[in-house]
Amino acid sequence: MTSLIDIKNYTWRYLYTNQPAVKNINLTLDEGLFLGVIGPNGSGKTTLAYSLNGLIPGQYHGIKEGEVLIDGTEVEAYAKGTLQRQVGVVFSDPEAQFTAMTVEDELVFGMENLGMSIPEIRERLEWVVSLTDLQPLLLKPPYEISGGQKQRVALAAVLAMTPRVMILDEPTSMLDPISRKRVFDVLAKLKKEQKNTIIVIEHSLENLIPLADRMAFMLNGELVLEDETRAFFAQIAMLMEKGIFPPDAMQFFHQLALQHMYSGALPLTVEEATQSLRASLARAAGGQS
């Protein structure tokens, strides 16, 4: 079976630069999975996202080696306009994407461009508006709403086009914690409801980890580690050494493990940490009696 995303020995160097922005990337991702991508600024995350939706090599000049296949076909082999039904990207500054006078028109615009029928547009519109809680904003101009609302509009506009892969590039980097949580709540609903493959590039690990089936870590253009989320964080010592700081609950258990006070798998969330602690305390109490 072909993976939905298959990147093979992929290297991209922007024209007039000395170093490749991404180097020898190998990554496969099956349909329906949620991948979290982390890495410091300049590590190649956005370049990787652009490479999946055809902006690279379409809009940028550079030198490509290797292959980036979506559903078995090279991104540049897709006929004009057809890759959008496969891969949609939401950027951290969504305003740059807006073209319409109202939120509703913004949501409809992309679907019309793809030539969807009116009943299909209505049905998709209703679905994305309820998923993203945008009903009260439909008649507002998209540039007059808050940052978090803009992010939800951008997400809804891309989702409305039903891409099989959704990529969100630092969707919450400009948001306050409450707006950030609302965006992740939408992603959680989406993960539950739909079969989309979702790739989220994000620094906020607390929000990302509970949703991610797999995690990828990029550094200096290389994919240093990519694995199922729990196995990924089993490499916590290497990640911390390279400047990635997992959530406090996970670090706490890592410290306990280093001091031989804990030997299980590291908890991924506060809820898991609470359960692990409760189990350890119960065991200790049992041992004393």
- Select from 2, 9, 17, 255 the one that contacts ligand ATP (CB under 6 A): 17
41 binds ligand ATP (CB under 6 A): yes
42 binds ligand ATP (CB under 6 A): yes
Look at the block and give the residue holding tokens 């940490």: 273
47 binds ligand ATP (CB under 6 A): yes
Residues 49-68 binding ligand ATP (CB under 6 A) are: 60
CA nearest neighbour of 216 among 231, 205, 232, 203: 232
**β-strand pairing of 73-74 with 62-70:** antiparallel
182 binds ligand ATP (CB under 6 A): no
Tell me the CA distances in angstroms from 69 to 7, 27, 78, 141, one per residue in order: 6, 10, 10, 37
88 binds ligand ATP (CB under 6 A): no
Least distance (Å) between residue 171 CB and ligand ATP: 12
- Select from 33, 43, 236, 272 the one that contacts ligand ATP (CB under 6 A): 43
Residues touching ligand ATP, count (CB under 6 A): 12
Pick the closer one to ligand ATP by CB: 174 or 277: 174
Which residue type is seen at 5? I
Pick the closer one to ligand ATP by CB: 20 or 247: 20
110 binds ligand ATP (CB under 6 A): no
26 binds ligand ATP (CB under 6 A): no
171 binds ligand ATP (CB under 6 A): no
Can you spell out the DSSP letters for 128-171?
Answer: HHHHHT-GGGTTS-GGGS-HHHHHHHHHHHHHHT--SEEEEEST
CA 186 – CA 1 distance, rounded (Å)? 30
Only one of the segments 36-44, 98-106, 124-132, 190-198 lies at the binding site for ligand ATP (rule: CB under 6 A); that segment is 36-44
Residues 201-220 binding ligand ATP (CB under 6 A) are: none
Least distance (Å) between residue 175 CB and ligand ATP: 16
Radius of gyration of the chain (CA): 21
44 binds ligand ATP (CB under 6 A): yes
247 binds ligand ATP (CB under 6 A): no
CB atoms under 10 Å from CB of 166, counted, come to: 23
Least distance (Å) between residue 90 CB and ligand ATP: 14
Instruction: Give the DSSP H/E element, type plus range, for residue 1.
Output: none
Least distance (Å) between residue 35 CB and ligand ATP: 15
Structure tokens, 214: 């797999």
- Select from 46, 53, 162, 172 the one that contacts ligand ATP (CB under 6 A): 46
45 binds ligand ATP (CB under 6 A): yes
**How many whole angstroms from its chain centre is CA 3?**
18
Look at the block and give the residue holding tokens 């519109």: 125
Structure tokens, 63: 């030198």
CA 24 – CA 287 distance, rounded (Å)? 52
**β-strand pairing of 34-38 with 87-90:** unpaired
Binding site for ligand ATP (CB under 6 A): 14, 17, 21, 39, 41-47, 60
